[in-house]
Amino acid sequence: MISLDGKRAIVTGGGAGIGRATAQVLAELGARVVIADIDTDGGERTAKDTGGTFVRCDVSRREDCEAVVHTAQKRFGGVDVLFNNAGIIRRSTVCEITEDDWDLVMAVNIRSVMLMSRLVIPGMAARGGGSIVNTGSGWGIRGGGRAVSYCASKGAVVNMTRAMAIDHGPDNIRVNCVCPGDTATGMLAEEARQLGESSDAFYADAADRPLGRIGQPRDIAQTVAFLASDASAFLSGAVIPVDGAGTA
Ligand code: NAD
C-alpha cells in the first residue's frame, strides 16, 4: 500500500539496529538511501544490502553532516526524507554522570537533529516539501531510572519535533517523532553491559508489556516508512510510541 518510489532518503545511524532495518524497508519500498554512520563496517554493510550509499559521519559534527547532505544532493539531486536516528545512551544518575558523557549524549542525540535538519530543510522547501522523522524514545515521554542524560535528550527531541513541525509546516515539511520502546538492538545489549546485568535477563524484563514481546527493528522501520510516505500527508507534529503499548 505504501510506495516510496522516487523518494530520496537519509538515514543516520543506518549501520545497525533500527537505522539499518529502516534503510532496508525504505529501499524495499523504492527509496534511494544514503546511510550515515560513525561505524564504517556497519554502514558499508547496510549500503551493500540496500543498494544505498554510505557516508562515514559523526552526526554531532557539522562538517560530517554537510558531507552526508552533499552526497545525497550530488547522487540523487535532493533529499525528500530525513530519518534522524543515530543515538547513544549512558546509564547513570545525575550524580554519577560525567560532564563529558553529558555533553556527548546531548551532542549525538539532540544537536545532531538540529545540524542535519537545517541542512535539508531549505532544499525540501524549494522542492515543495518533505518528511523528517526524529527518533525519540519512551523515555522522551516518561522518565526512566539511571538514564538522566538520555531521558533529557529524548524529551528534547520530542518537543523539538513539535517546534519544527510548526515552523516548517507552511513549506509542506512534515516533522514527526517515533518513540520506540525496548527494541532488540545493540543498544539494549550495551545498556545491560553498562548496568552489569546479563543480556538475557535484561531482554526478559524488557518484554514485560501488553503485547508481550520486545520490539524488533522492523517494527520501528515500518512506522518510519509510513511517516516518510505520502500516505501520511496530513500527519505532522506527532509523537508516536512504537512500543507494544508500553507507555499506555
Ligand atoms: P544501535 O546502537 O543498534 O544503533 C545505533 C547506530 O548509531 C549505530 O550504527 C552507531 O554506530 C550509530 N551511531 C552512534 N553514534 C553515532 C554518531 N555520533 N554519529 C553517527 N552514527 C552514530 O541502536 P538502536 O537501538 O538502533 O538506536 C537507534 C535509535 O533508537 C537511537 O536514537 C536510540 O536512542 C533509539 N531508541 C532505541 C531503543 C532500543 O531499545 N533499542 C529504544 C528507544 C529509542
> pLDDT (tens digit, 9 = 90+) per residue, 168-181?
999 999 999 999 99
Name the residue with cell 534522524: 84
The Cα 184–Cα 12 span in angstroms is 18
Q: Is the pLDDT of residue 1 over 80?
A: no
CA of residue 88 to ligand 1 center, whole Å: 6
Q: Are 179 and 240 in contact (CB under 8 A)?
A: yes
The Cα 238–Cα 161 span in angstroms is 8
- The distance from CA 32 to its chain's CA centroid, rounded to whole angstroms, is 17
Return residue ranges of the chain for CATH 3.40.50.720. Answer: 8-180+216-240
What pLDDT does residue 223 have? 98
| pLDDT bracket for residue 37 (50, 70, 90) | very high
CA of residue 166 to ligand 1 center, whole Å: 26
Q: Say what the pTM is.
A: 0.98
pLDDT, mean of residues 123-129: 98
The Cα 137–Cα 151 span in angstroms is 8
| pLDDT bracket for residue 205 (50, 70, 90) | confident
> pLDDT (tens digit, 9 = 90+) per residue, 62-105?
999 999 999 999 999 999 999 999 999 999 999 999 999 999 99
| pLDDT bracket for residue 208 (50, 70, 90) | confident
Residue 11: enclosing H or E segment and its boundaries? strand 8-12
Name the residue with cell 525519540: 136
Q: Are 219 and 183 in contact (CB under 8 A)?
A: yes
Respond yes or no: is residue 203 known to be catalytic. Answer: no
- What's the CATH fold of domain 8-180+216-240? Rossmann fold (3.40.50)
